[in-house]
Structure 1
């Protein structure tokens, strides 16, 4: 960190409520190391305003994965992701910090705050969808369902079988739920609506996206692409610990090295650059 480095530390309200002591520790470390402006927004709108008014200060988000994702989304929509590195101090419930952990951000207020101060900027790809939303991790459509419970006794089954089939779609044999989707990677058709799939996954793989389509009872289809389009009857997808609303079409495009995050330096890592 240079002598002139200035930080804008935005502390998410969820972090303040969930672990005020860790927030205090992170503030102490950061304020001792740099000229720091602390912002305590009460909600998403104030969070966005504070970030928009950062000026030349380097943004540091203190909070869980949702706060990190919100920050990247806002900077993306400003078209400001390429202007400098973002930093994060993960604070929240243990299950809400998985994305930050996967990206390499240290767990614990002291270690994370020290990485903000002494770390280096590491660049990451970004998945951007056709609604200008972003994905930092991967995308998953569908998943294997657990095997169904043991059937009721025969005398009961004969009575309720017709009713059950009218109310729910019985999963295919083996307990797997399938989906009717049209899947296109860089315009190449991988699966059409008449070919059911168990799941479709998408993740960054160094400048391209790895696409994996899993048909039922068959080997997965794997390819690399820069864009993926999925369409079909109302489907949902999971990304960055969120589940989307039902939709009928979505396209994701990979943006290579689109954003950077301050992380601890790794020995002899060629992509390490001092945080601005």
Structure 2
């Protein structure tokens, strides 16, 4: 059964914690079921919770669309969080309320959440959901409606990294990701805020895009043979004869063109209150 409601729901007293919709990443349960159980128990002990295990993208969309007043909380990886934000963005509810996350997974799978300030220990992260405060963060949004929390990487050669989460696999399928090894894609046209950085006759070794906190812009690193450029921009367009990329570690593409734009303060995350 994919949707697991708590047997008992605690009534929320006036001024108490918001009721929660706790979304379990299936990969997190497999990777560290004990941490998932601990986080779930802490959340249940402090707030009225409905716990669900969405197994498809459509089921996740349905749970979020019918959550009522419940605040979405993810127990899982960065890609599980990204999938929830993607669904909320599609439903035009991304900025309606802060979301919570309890990072569970390998260190490389929860790096974005940790970088944003979420505690790595499940009890501390769950308590931040119940007692913490909301902080706004920027978001990268592409022309197809895809969202990126941390960054984008285009490296023409090399093998794609394995997907870390069932939700990541669903997201990759929606984005048209083809399995297997990337073909060499060294010729790209790259524009940042309308400024031409590389054209199709240039060979590109790496394009790294990071989204620093509260900056309102993205940070770009472009490496070509014998040179490297570092700059900031609010929008980025990449075009070429079919290229793949990684968004928050999730392989995407191939596509012929992609434009990312920074949306300042587009979403809010629950973090521990400052001491």
The TM-score bracket by the shorter chain reads 0.7 to 0.9
Q: Which runs of 5+ in 2 are unaligned?
A: 1-13, 159-183
Post-superposition offset of 1:226: 1.4
Determine if the alignment matches structure 1 residue 31 to structure 2 residue 44. yes
Q: Match of 1:231, SS?
A: strand
Q: 1:186 and 2:193 equivalent?
A: yes
User: In the alignment, which residue of structure 2 is the partner of 1:148?
Assistant: none
Following the alignment from structure 2 to structure 1, what is the Cα–Cα distance between the partners of residues 29 and 135?
A: 27
Pick closer, same or farther for the CA change 1:248–1:264 going to 2, 3 Å.
Answer: same
- In structure 1, what is the Cα distance between the partners aligned to 2:106 and 2:258? 31
Find the residue that maps to 1:194 and give its secondary structure.
coil
Task: Confirm whether residue 3 of structure 1 aligns to residue 5 of structure 2.
Answer: no
Aligned 8 A contact 1:86 1:261 in 2? yes
1:200 aligns with: 207
Is the CA contact 2:185–2:242 (under 8 Å) kept in the aligned structure 1? no
Alpha carbons of structure 1 residues 4 and 115: separation in structure 2 relative to 1, 3 Å: closer
**Residues 41-86 of structure 1: per-residue CA shift (max 9 Å, x gap):** 3333322221211111111111222211110100111111111100
Q: Are 1:57 and 2:76 counterparts?
A: no
Deviations 1:83-102 (A, max 9, x none): 11000111234432222222
- Kept in 2: contact 1:178–1:216 (CA 8 A): no
Q: Which residue of 2 aligns with 1:138?
A: 151
Take 1:229 and 1:216, find their aligned partners in 2: how far apart are those partners?
21
1:202 to 1:4, Cα distance in 2 relative to 1, 3 A: closer
Instruction: Tell me: CA distance 1:40–1:222, structure 2 relative to 1, closer, same or farther (3 Å).
Output: closer
- Distance in 2 between residues matched to 1:143 and 1:115, nearest whole Å: 40
Q: CA deviation at 1:178?
A: 7.5
2:255 corresponds to: 247
In structure 2, what is the Cα distance between the partners aligned to 1:135 and 1:40?
23
Q: Cα RMSD between the aligned structures?
A: 2.1
* Corresponding residue number in structure 1 for 2:218: 209
1:149 equivalent in structure 2:
none
Q: Quickly say closer, same or farther: Cα 1:44–1:18, change in 2 above 3 A.
A: farther
Q: TM-score scaled by structure 1?
A: 0.79
What TM-score, normalized by structure 2, do the two folds share?
0.79
Per-residue deviation, 1:143: 6.5
Corresponding residue for 2:121? 108
- Number of aligned residue pairs: 235
Contact 2:185 2:243 survives alignment (8 Å): no
Which position in structure 2 is the counterpart of 1:129?
142
What does 1:136-175 align with in structure 2 at a 5 Å threshold? Answer: 136-142=149-155
Deviations 1:7-53 (A, max 9, x none): 11112222233322222211221111112222233333322221211
In 1, Cα distance between equivalents of 2:247 and 2:187: 20
Structure 2 CA distance for aligned equivalents of residues 88 and 221 of structure 1: 34
Unaligned runs of 5+ in 1: 146-176, 268-276
